[in-house]
Amino acid sequence: MEAIKAKFENGEADRTVKAITLSRYGPSSLLRLEEVPKPIPGDDEILIRVRAASVNDWDWGLMRGKPFYIRLLCGLRKPKIRIPGVDVAGEVETVGRNVTKFRPGDEVYGDISESGFGGFATYVCAHESALAPKPRTMPFIEAAAIPHAATLALQGFQKMEDLGARHKLLINGAGGGVGTLGIQIARSLGIEDVDGVDSESKLEMLRSLGFNNVIDYTKTDFTRAGKQYDLILDTRTNRSVFDYLRALTPNGIYVTVGGSTARLLQAFLLGPLIHRLSKKRIQIVALKPNQGLDYINELFEAEKLKAVIDGPYKLSEAPQAIDHFGNGGHKGKVIISMDQEN
């Protein structure tokens, strides 16, 4: 207690922030809640007081160093990124000298995956281009849920030309971030007939979001169920590309946002050949962070989009939150709120 008092008396507390830190790849027990130096924004950066963050596949992969490409990107033997967290929502505290887009006090949100991560902390610096203005009516907790997953879904739909009400869409892995936001984005684009695939515990939630039919992947393989779709959006590509072709109508488009590295590679290599031999198409989304957030803001303000929140967890509970995400069973987006007592 005396030590903490002394810290406040000499102003040290203002120069440190709380963060979840990572020093080695491995289980969540290796993560630590620590006091780290308060980040200082560069000329093109803003310092954000983080109010909420959400857990993504990036965090699960970064923590474990798996799949292997994570080590190629983030450090072979140990992570170069010390603080996970890519989806953040918060308030601008200070701005770098070249920043023109934001001022102190602005409310912002965004995917900071190309700006060094660091969202699982009470403060983070990010390039101004990595943030968008947050609608005032959007709660921080919901704002943290949206950037990564909503733009993945939106950019997936942008690969599907000629969207319309006559189309039948299936979202595979529908109960996570991309699927729960994706159905709402699909409706805004005029698609009415949407099926969703996930595990049994999420099917009721999917029905309540408006999915017309729901399929339990532990009981039914949708690629063998006899129904064909004009559009498939997959968050969990784990089958041969030929299985997906079976579930597509003759002009159908299969778009994957993620899944097993080997299956994605197969889709990447065979996609062009398949399109030469048939009218079916296979597409892979390479996410452009935050692209499309202005459209998402419009949907939110028109009350056409609402995130499904799992949590919120306290910052100190981030290791459990990451495990909850990675081990499955979460519904929608797993949220960490810095406003909860830590």
Which residues sit at the interface with ligand NAP, rule CB under 6 A?
Answer: 57, 149, 152, 172-173, 175-179, 197-199, 202, 217, 235-236, 238, 257-259, 285-287, 328-329
Measured from the CB atom, the residue of 7 and 227 that comes closer to ligand NAP is 227
Smallest distance, ligand NAP to C-beta of residue 227, A: 15
Measured from the CB atom, the residue of 16 and 199 that comes closer to ligand NAP is 199
What is the rounded CA–CA span in Å between residue 56 and residue 112?
12
Smallest distance, ligand NAP to C-beta of residue 239, A: 8
Measured from the CB atom, the residue of 26 and 328 that comes closer to ligand NAP is 328
Smallest distance, ligand NAP to C-beta of residue 274, A: 19
Measured from the CB atom, the residue of 201 and 278 that comes closer to ligand NAP is 201
**Which positions ≥6 away from 249 have C-beta within 8 Å?**
168, 228, 229, 230
Smallest distance, ligand NAP to C-beta of residue 27, A: 18
- The alpha carbon torsion through 134, 138, 142, 144 (nearest 10 deg) reads 10
Given the DSSP bridges, would you call strands 229-234 and 248-256 parallel, antiparallel or unpaired? parallel
Smallest distance, ligand NAP to C-beta of residue 328, A: 3
Smallest distance, ligand NAP to C-beta of residue 13, A: 35
Residue closest to ligand NAP when measured from CB atoms:
176
Smallest distance, ligand NAP to C-beta of residue 182, A: 8
Dihedral (CA of 117, 123, 126, 130) sign: positive
Measured from the CB atom, the residue of 16 and 238 that comes closer to ligand NAP is 238
Measured from the CB atom, the residue of 57 and 128 that comes closer to ligand NAP is 57
What is the rounded CA–CA span in Å between residue 84 and residue 113?
9
Measured from the CB atom, the residue of 41 and 259 that comes closer to ligand NAP is 259
